[in-house]
Amino acid sequence: MKQTIKTAIHYTLFLFVCSMCITCSNKSNSGKKVNANMTMAVAPLFNADSAYSFIAEQCLFGPRVPNSEAHRKCGDYLVNKFKSYGATVVEQKTNLKAFDGTILDARNIIASFNPQHEVRYLICGHWDSRPWADNDPDPANWGKPVMGANDGASGVGVMLELARAIQSQPMNIGIDLICFDAEDYGVPQWENRYEDTSSSWCLGSQYWSSYPHYYGYRARYGILLDMVGGMGCTFSKEGYSTHYAPQIVDLVWKTAAQLGYGQFFPRRNGGYITDDHVPVNETLRVPCINIVPYFTDGPSNFGPTWHTVKDNINHIDKNVLKAVGQTVLQVIYNENL
């Protein structure tokens, strides 16, 4: 994940070809009309304190690096937690080969509400954490694993709170909350033996997009949550999202504005981000957008703690969690009208 392309010039031909392949799919699945004043459903309140506690509980296991004990224990925790909120949980276990040949004992976790309902919506994020703090300003930390409070645990914390809210106020549509594994095992910055590193990221979502948890899986659209709790985060319109699912981008940003969270969702364009939504769009061809921070200054477009040892619970902001969580909750409850 997390490679920002600040210009789309060398992607023009690629995007044109892809658009010719999936334009019809996008028109049918993401053609949600966005009105100036949308009718808003009565949605549950998103509890940011609860989401924060879910993030903290994940971090108590330590860095959730694939093949580690912390990874195994946290996976068990997530499965049991989603089940406790009434979700039907499917574990998609597989072995995935990393860029260096390491075999990763991977585990995508799919928590579904109304699993038999034909009309479905997808919310997703990754639950693993980075094995190397390779963006840390101190080179002595580059080989250390990242706690991943924001980069991984925050999106999952929001999804757990969504599950709790859905159980309290059920809907008549299908919702799938998917925790992708092995997203952050991409080539480290110090490694220069590989020319094309984009495919080394997002291994769990690449696998699921090719082999969904059941044959013929479809969703009207998807929303990816990545790094949605960090201090100072705002969320620009990510490039692949606006290409593949512009109507859904408009829907989410307009909903945020109507809820009073427009300062967190500025109406500006960000970069093209290699992230879990890319294989969902390009392989499974389900229109999927990415809510991901975009910093215009600082050492990284993803904020000062990205891939550093400082990505811990002390840098999580409940106000950011509230803005993202309430917006996504409102979007999916509006679909239930």
Query: From the CA atom positions of the chain, what is the Rg in Å?
Result: 18
Between these two residues, 171 and 192, which has the higher pLDDT value? 171
Average pLDDT, the chain: 91
Using CA atoms, how far residue 178 sits from 40, 83, 270, in Å, is 25, 13, 25
Q: How many CB atoms lie within 10 A of CB 240?
A: 24
Per-residue confidence (pLDDT) for residue 38, from 0 to 100: 76
Contact 110/213 with Cβ under 8 angstroms? yes
Average pLDDT over every residue of 72-93? 98
Contact 182/66 with Cβ under 8 angstroms? yes
Q: Which residues contact 277 (CB under 8 A, 6 or more apart)?
A: 124, 205, 222, 224, 240, 241, 288, 289, 290
- Residue 18: which pLDDT band, with cuts at 50, 70 and 90? very low
Residues counted in the chain:
337
268 - beta bridge partners?
none
In this predicted structure, which of 63-67, 196-200, 271-275, 321-325 has the lowest mean pLDDT? 196-200
Contact 159/225 with Cβ under 8 angstroms? yes
Identify which of 209, 193, 214, 179 has the alpha carbon closest to the alpha carbon of residue 106. 179
Average pLDDT over every residue of 51-75? 98
Per-residue confidence (pLDDT) for residue 3, from 0 to 100: 55
Contact 93/67 with Cβ under 8 angstroms? no
Using the predicted structure, report yes or no on whether residue 36 has a pLDDT greater than 70.
no
Region of residue 66 (phi > 0: left; psi between -120 and 50: alpha; otherwise: beta)? beta
Q: Is 325 exposed, middle or buried (0-12, 13-18, 19+ CB in 10 A)?
A: buried
Q: How many CB atoms lie within 10 A of CB 28?
A: 10
Per-residue confidence (pLDDT) for residue 192, from 0 to 100: 87
Using the predicted structure, report yes or no on whether residue 114 has a pLDDT greater than 70.
yes
Per-residue confidence (pLDDT) for residue 23, from 0 to 100: 41
Per-residue confidence (pLDDT) for residue 6, from 0 to 100: 38
Using the predicted structure, report yes or no on whether residue 332 has a pLDDT greater than 50.
yes
* Tokens coding 247: 């109507």
- The span from the CA of 230 to the CA of 228, in Å, is 6
- Residue 7: which pLDDT band, with cuts at 50, 70 and 90? very low
Per-residue confidence (pLDDT) for residue 10, from 0 to 100: 38
Give 44-60 pLDDT, tens digit per residue.
999 999 999 999 999 99
Using the predicted structure, report yes or no on whether residue 173 has a pLDDT greater than 90.
yes
Q: Which CATH class is domain 4-334?
A: alpha beta
DSSP labels for 274-290?
Answer: -STHHHIIIII---EEE
φ, ψ of residue 240 in degrees (nearest 5): -65, -35
Give 222-261 pLDDT, tens digit per residue.
999 999 999 999 999 999 999 999 999 999 999 999 999 9
Q: What is the largest CA-CA distance in the chain?
A: 54
Using the predicted structure, report yes or no on whether residue 28 has a pLDDT greater than 50.
no
Which sequence spans correspond to the domains of the chain?
4-334
Q: Is 71 exposed, middle or buried (0-12, 13-18, 19+ CB in 10 A)?
A: buried
Give 283-299 pLDDT, tens digit per residue.
999 999 999 999 988 78
221 DSSP assignment? -
- Residue 214: which pLDDT band, with cuts at 50, 70 and 90? very high
Per-residue confidence (pLDDT) for residue 2, from 0 to 100: 55
Average pLDDT over every residue of 108-128? 98
